[in-house]
Structure 1
């Protein structure tokens, strides 16, 4: 069975994923070696080694997720267990989480630290894809077929907003919206959902204001104003964006050379995380940036193509959701690095340093590969039945 599934594997998708993640590992070493010594007082390869260990685990997770038929995740018991686990993590996070950069996003269990919100990204995709695939016979029944899953989406997004982690909450909500949009409901129900979404956002903002956790804080105002005119605030809130511009502008077509970035020498804070694309632009130029965009674009487009190709509603919605997640997260990261949108602290998929993010996205790739395997197997079965 495993041998048959491996034969039907989409190796182009797998190769691009592996190449991109290895490239990201190389760039993490390049971007973090000075920071490791100057800021964290550790060996220059500290972050490289940590990410290497996570990458090996991520490959294993991707392989297992690809080999297991994705239809197993449609089981009601699994879905209930998964959502209750995510709920327990998020509630535990609010009570016992560790605060980093003004957000309580980290939790520690048995000595392992991770970000539960990252796992919610994948859990929401699986949950919405499974539920809406089962609701296909009455998908246009607004009260019965549309609303119940959306309530879960809004509730989990709200728990993440409370951390507060607006960027991750926006990614989860937008990814969920893509799955909902692709579920096949009519335009009338979609417009109703849009109206309800606006009302829910207003309610979120009101509740947070009443509880003293206003969405409009001075920190966020400063972040927005610095995004509009970073050079006016280049010594504080605009520091990262200004130095990101300098890094991008210094790279040119070919870059200054791998490992030769100036901005990573203490000028661009946390260059190995959400601003790693600025270092890629400086060291490898337009060619390096183009390579990353090609790989990410290939994965996203392949995911959407697979969603249209797959005849199973669950598999199709899984593919759409995963492609949407990677595409949205890429846009938000690059938008922040280039100054198109305010900085949110979101990682660049498969490239930025971040263990939890890499593990979850690798799980997503495994599911995407599982969908492609099953689609190819179904096609082979159909062709054989025609011949017979």
Structure 2
């Protein structure tokens, strides 16, 4: 991948640009919209019983809230899709949001609201916000902007790689202290993907892998320092949840039952059984289990293929962009969606321990959906400029070829018998 310096926003920048609508990646936009609408329907199906039984509200309570979140997210998405992505690398924008993210995460440890055994929430009147969700995007922007500026000496660990990791470590420590190991793991993996994509040498990559292995070994040896008793129980029950099906294995066992009951064609939308009080958090973390039960293999395939397409398009946008900042952000955003989807699906299927991570664009959740809207809005904006750059490069190449042909045609060609 070849990066070029882009200190100034290119000639076509502007909040409202003419003749740029065709440059947007509509296949990506349509896939995100369809998956989100599908998720809205499944949120209603998964929550209509639990809303009455557990929360004592109307059956469509979570459906209406998610619909409002989607409408709000649409406005946010449009703004970030139209605003030039290079804005976010400016110091007067980036530094304040970095400092605010540290301040808010630190404040959570004192004033945060506890939900799901984690002190990860802020209550603002009737609105509940999870700041760590938005920190994912802030970390992507910061690391991408920093490593893009350090391209000329990217393999110098002390000058290029290490300084930005100070902010990353502070963020991870504050999130782990909540405790929210799932979100911390996602942010850590996103950071690794951005570093690997920044152009570092294979020697540097091997060095990071070695550090990662050492960190994992230390966490295993001193697991009581890193994990709560509840988190440790998730590791032990993953291998055989049926031994503790009335305790720590309850969630996973009912997830297995829901997935197994659906088969190929499913029981029919709205006809699932496990959501009737057996499967907790059926509209959030375990919504894929409800999809598997009600829509079977076809529903699961639709979600997985849609997410895979979004990740694929994001990676292609990153590879196509010649701007280091845009390329690294596209790779970071698509990696975030893919990693989060893997952790959610891996948790409900028993491949990895449960971490309480929502399924992107499908699960109920305001903070997650709003944060994704910001991220994919930026991704769509990057795709627009990457497309424009490729068109301009193609035109320039054609012009160069035409000029060369014109020069050749004007030369005197010897007459041959």
Of 247, 251, 255, the match for 1:236:
247
The SS at the match of 1:41 is coil
Separation in 2 of the partners of 1:157 and 1:283? 37
Alignment partner, residue 184 of structure 1:
199
CA distance in 2, matches of 1:339, 1:197: 23
- The corresponding residue for 2:45 is 30
The 5-angstrom pairing of residues 269-348 of structure 1 reads 269-348=280-359
Shift, 1:192, TM fit? 2.9
Query: Structure 2 CA distance, aligned partners of 1:194 and 1:168?
Result: 20
Matched, 1:17 2:17: no
1:150 aligns with 2:165: yes
SS at match of 1:4: coil
8 Å CA contact retained: 2:145, 2:325: yes
Partner-residue secondary structure (3-state), 2:20: helix
SS in 1 for 2:226: coil
2 CA distance for matches of 1:81 and 1:205?
36
Matches within 5 A, 1:342-361: 342-361=353-372
Which of 62, 74, 83 is the equivalent residue of 2:89? 74
CA distance in 1 between partners of 2:237 and 2:222 (Å) = 27
Deviation for aligned residue 1:151: 2.1
Aligned residue runs from structure 1 range 177-216, under 5 A: 177-197=192-212, 214-216=225-227
Moved more, 239-248 or 218-227: 218-227
Q: TM-score, normalised by structure 1?
A: 0.95
> How much has 1:77 moved relative to structure 2?
1.6
Please report how far the alpha carbon of residue 386 of structure 1 lies from its aligned counterpart in structure 2 after TM superposition.
3.6
Structure 1's 262 and 204: CA in aligned 2 closer, same or farther, altered over 3 A? closer
Contact map agreement 1:158 1:204 (CA 8 A) in 2? no
Instruction: Tell me if the contact between 2:102 and 2:170 (Cα under 8 Å) persists in the aligned partners.
Output: no
Which residue pairs with 2:100 in the alignment? 85
Separation of aligned partners in 2, 1:60 and 1:158:
33
* Cα distance in structure 2, aligned partners of 1:197 and 1:335: 20
Provide the aligned length of Structure 1 versus Structure 2. Answer: 384
Cα distance in 2, alignment partners of residues 355 and 250 from structure 1: 30
Structure 2 CA distance for aligned equivalents of residues 141 and 31 of structure 1: 51
Give the CA deviation at 1:218.
2.4
Which ranges in structure 2 are unaligned for 5 or more consecutive residues? 1-15, 400-417
Q: Is the 8 A contact 1:263 1:279 kept in 2?
A: yes
Distance 1:331 1:104, change over 3 A: same
Residues 51 and 355 of structure 1 are in contact (CA less than 8 Å); yes or no, is this contact kept in structure 2? yes
**Cα drift, residue 10 of structure 1:** 0.6
Equivalent residue for 1:42, pick from 48, 52, 57: 57
Output one character per residue of 1:77-113: Cα deviation in whole Å (capped at 9) or x when no partner.
2110110111111011111001112210101235532
Greater displacement, 228-237 / 20-29: 228-237
Cα distance change of structure 1 residues 289 and 205 upon mapping to structure 2, 3 Å threshold: closer
Do residues 223 (structure 1) and 223 (structure 2) align?
no
Flag the structure with larger Rg: 2
| Distance verdict in 2 for CA 1:245–1:208, change over 3 Å | closer
Q: Which moved more, 1:335-344 or 1:192-201?
A: 192-201
How far apart are the structure 2 equivalents of 1:151 and 1:370? 29
